[in-house]
């Protein structure tokens, strides 16, 4: 069951990374509205935490980050038309930082054991 959870998390991370790159160029009028940066900052640490709960103390905790980074880089720099979808400004760098740094921070923290069901309160 844990391997199935890992596969679903990695698929989810890959789809989120693709969507985040696609929506990175969103603008309201002529002002950039990089909502996908906020999505990356929230979802990558959550994915890392899920894998960390399934495989505590394992290096598999970095699998969502590696998957997310590879998808962002591939679809950001290369696309069907030859050029990528990254805008030529600060948003691409901030997206990568917002996806990786919170995830690495969560991966470096120790896992707290999940509360057991039916445990007596102290």
**Distance spanning both ends of the chain, measured CA to CA:** 32
Contact 75, 21 (CB under 8 A): yes
Q: Which of 85, 103, 107, 89 has its CA nearest to residue 39? A: 103
Which pLDDT tens digits describe the chain residue by residue (122 residues)? Answer: 889 999 999 999 999 999 999 898 888 888 888 899 999 999 999 999 999 989 888 889 999 999 999 999 998 888 666 677 787 888 899 999 999 999 999 998 876 655 565 655 55
**Which pLDDT score, from 0 to 100, does residue 94 have?**
93
């Amino acid at each position: 069951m844990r391997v199935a959870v890992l596969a679903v998390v990695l698929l989810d991370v890959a789809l989120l990374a693709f969507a985040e790159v696609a929506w990175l160029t969103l603008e309201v009028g002529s002002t950039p509205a990089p909502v996908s940066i906020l999505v990356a900052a929230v979802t990558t640490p959550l994915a890392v935490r899920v894998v960390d709960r399934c495989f505590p103390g394992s290096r598999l905790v970095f699998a969502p980050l590696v998957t997310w980074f590879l998808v962002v880089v591939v679809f950001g720099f290369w696309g069907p038309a030859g050029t990528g979808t990254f805008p030529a400004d600060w948003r691409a760098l901030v997206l990568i930082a917002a996806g990786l740094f919170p995830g690495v921070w969560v991966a470096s923290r120790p896992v707290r054991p999940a509360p057991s069901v039916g445990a007596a309160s102290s």
